[in-house]
Amino acid sequence: MNAERGAETAVAAVEAWRRCLERRRAGAEPEGGLDQAVEGVLPRGGISAIGSRGLLLVVGSEAVGAVEELPDEVVVAWAYDAGASESGPSGYDRLIVDLLEGGFRPVVERAGLPEPVAGREAAPPFRVVRARRDGYRLRGYRPGDEEAILELFRESFWRNLSLEQWTWRYVDNPWGGPRISLAFSPGGELVCQYCAYPVRWRGLPPTSPAGSHQVGDTMTRASARAVGRGPTSLLARSARHFYLVHCKGRVAFNYGFNTGNILKFSNRFLEVRQVEDVPYRELPAGARPGLSARVGRRYELRRITERSGIDAAFDALFERVSDRYGLLVERSAEYVRWRYLDCPAEGPELTAAYRNERLAAWVASRRLPDRVEWGDALVDPAERPALRALLDDMRVPGLPIAGWFGDRPRWLARELDALGLVRRPEPQGLVTGMAPFVRGDAVSLLRRGYYTKGDSDLF
């Protein structure tokens, strides 16, 4: 749409909005979708309950203006303009972000097309929202928010998250960050967080962005959980802010692992789709993977403890085998260094298997009091016996080995079956969920892909 055409559309939008308000004030029957949309968002008492200062029109990429000067309840119409910017939240998305950041909660939203008028430029589609000020403001992370975030984490999860671990996950991530949306009470107290860290995937179509988000550490202060309900709750508002600022049109999908009430809430109000129950396997205590001494001697096992130990061989292994796994997180050398060596938490241990100085496989694990937690693995299909050597090295007498490994890829699943790892329900009942953005088919893609506990924030 050229500038002249855009100006004509804007004029038509203003005229359609004016006529709509005149009909609503006169109590006339609705004419067309715009009238019906406005009628659908008005509070009890109709248009007179809002007042003229609370009836606003935003066209295209315009901003709503000085939110602080708005009355406590408003009806805002947004009209489409093809000239809107795509560099950030624009159009209706920008309107919603402005309202959320200004202390308003969207109460009800409708869409509608005005009735055409003979001899006049056709008005564009409209979206209409009624919003009410409650003083809870949304915004992105700012340096200095860490202390409040960590305090809210302690209250929400009854354990500490160190500043070092928070910085490692959300600030020092090689793919960027922080990606955080925060809600504050009218008094300025942090009461809710929705956040994620960026992850890159291999195996997405070339037209898709490779980036996604692993969502975690979402939390609401107990004293604020009754603010709003469902889509107007602080958690839903924070998620919507995050989606509009960091996700829509920018990443392939978000993913995460939940159970219980948060799973139901996410499915109903946060556009999260259920992929599957988290796959889980266990090698019982006392079981042996059946490795012969002769096969074991083929491989040299090295415990990797220095960043320099993760070298170009890790990139070469990933490039050599990634297409045998389907969709999977990009396990480059840079990523593996950050994920397993830079992590300030206890463990994990990273062990690599080499044959004739060539990297054949690596695994990440953590020794816990009741089990060995097998968090990740990348194995060359041509070097499957290396997995047997690594699994035998991982064993601790009297403890089972447990990890998130399912039926994909099939060649790896068959190897795990042969090694004696038994499929069992995930102990916490965790479910894998995804919120698709650019990739509307993300759920079906991951149902054919490969992921482990190391691809979550739980390992």
For residue 422, the surrounding DSSP H or E stretch is strand 422-423
- What is the pairing mode between strands 73-79 and 55-59? parallel
The set of residues, in sequence order, having a beta carbon less than 8 Å from that of 356 and lying 6+ positions away, is none
In 193-311, alpha helices (H) = 234-242, 260-269, 293-296
- Single-letter amino acid, residue 35: D
What is the pLDDT, as a whole number, of residue 163? 97
Per-residue pLDDT reduced to its tens digit, 28-53: 999 899 999 999 999 998 999 998 99
What is the pLDDT, as a whole number, of residue 417? 96
Mean pLDDT value of segment 267-293: 87
Question: What confidence category does residue 3 fall into, taking pLDDT thresholds of 50, 70 and 90?
Answer: low
Confirm if 272 and 435 have CB atoms less than 8 A apart.
yes
For residue 151, the surrounding DSSP H or E stretch is helix 146-157
Mean pLDDT value of segment 395-418: 96
Mean pLDDT value of segment 270-283: 96
Is the confidence at residue 16, as pLDDT, over 90?
Answer: yes
What is the pLDDT, as a whole number, of residue 83? 46
What is the pLDDT, as a whole number, of residue 117? 65
What is the pLDDT, as a whole number, of residue 4? 59
Per-residue pLDDT reduced to its tens digit, 236-273: 999 999 999 999 999 999 999 999 888 899 999 999 99
- Total residues found in the chain within this entry: 459
Q: What tokens does 36 get?
A: 């019906």
Write the CA distances from 168 to 70, 161, 172, 260, 352, integer angstroms. Answer: 41, 11, 5, 28, 23
What is the pLDDT, as a whole number, of residue 355? 97
The set of residues, in sequence order, having a beta carbon less than 8 Å from that of 147 and lying 6+ positions away, is none
0.85 surpassed by pTM: yes
**Nearest-angstrom CA–CA distance, 280 and 336:** 22
Per-residue pLDDT reduced to its tens digit, 152-180: 999 999 999 999 999 999 999 999 989 99
283 vs 290: which has the higher pLDDT: 283
Per-residue pLDDT reduced to its tens digit, 425-456: 999 999 999 999 999 999 999 999 999 999 99
The mean pLDDT value of the chain amounts to 92
Mean pLDDT value of segment 348-369: 97
Query: Angle CA(288)–CA(293)–CA(295) in degrees, nearest 5?
Result: 95
Is the confidence at residue 366, as pLDDT, over 50?
Answer: yes
**DSSP line for 300-354:** EEEEE-SGGGS-HHHHHHHHHHGGGTSSEE---HHHHIIIIIS--SS--EEEEEE
Per-residue pLDDT reduced to its tens digit, 67-101: 999 999 999 999 975 544 456 688 899 999 999 99
Per-residue pLDDT reduced to its tens digit, 181-226: 999 999 999 999 999 999 999 999 988 999 999 998 999 999 999 9
Give buried/exposed letters for 32-43 (b at 16+ CB in 10 A, else e).
bbbbbbbbebbe
What is the pLDDT, as a whole number, of residue 7? 76
Per-residue pLDDT reduced to its tens digit, 289-337: 765 556 667 999 999 999 999 999 999 999 999 999 999 999 999 999 9
- Cβ contacts of 46-52, under 8 Å, gap ≥ 24: 47/21, 49/73, 50/74, 50/75
Question: What confidence category does residue 1 fall into, taking pLDDT thresholds of 50, 70 and 90?
Answer: very low
Mean pLDDT value of segment 1-5: 54
Per-residue pLDDT reduced to its tens digit, 115-130: 776 656 677 899 999 9
- Single-letter amino acid, residue 237: R
